[in-house]
Amino acid sequence: MNAELSLWVEIPVAILLVLSGMFALIGAIGLLRMKDYFQRMHPPALASTLGAWCVALASIICFSALKSGPVVHAWLIPILLAITVPVTTLLLARAALFRKRMAGDDVPAEVSSRSMESGN
């Protein structure tokens, strides 16, 4: 299959792919610059999710142009990432907080259901 894409398809695809690479680079720089584990969790998670959305959109544009019809099954990957990345980040943060508490480090107090009800 030797199909060529028009320039009007190649330009947005190239821009989206470069943008996704920039998001990955920003996430890596954020990972290196942050000092604490809890600060380091957010830049890679956000950047990788945005990068995945850009790659999926580029894939949809490219393959829709090649097949001359809508190809949207590539959205499945970023949708699953958008669901699972926040859950994974929360679980990792809770595990790290638990380890810090067990080690006796200075961490915020645990929130109980009674303090939530009373507004304290």
Q: Residue 23: is its pLDDT beyond 80?
A: yes
* Number of domains present in the structure of the chain: 1
User: Residue 96 contacts by C-beta under 8 Å, 6 or more apart in sequence?
Assistant: 37, 38
Does 116 map to a domain?
Answer: no
**Do the domain assignments include residue 68?**
yes
Range of the domain at 12: 7-106
Residue 102 forms part of a structural domain: yes
Q: Name, in order, each residue with C-beta under 8 angstroms of 6's C-beta and a sequence gap of 6 or more.
A: 65
pLDDT of res. 49: 85
pLDDT in tens, 78-117: 888 888 888 888 898 889 888 988 888 887 777 665 555 5
- What pLDDT, on a 0 to 100 scale, did the predictor assign at position 13? 95
Kindly list the distances between the CA atom of residue 31 and the CA atoms of 27, 28, 113, in Å, as whole numbers in the listed order. Answer: 6, 5, 34
How far apart, in Å, do the first and last CA atoms of the chain sit? 66
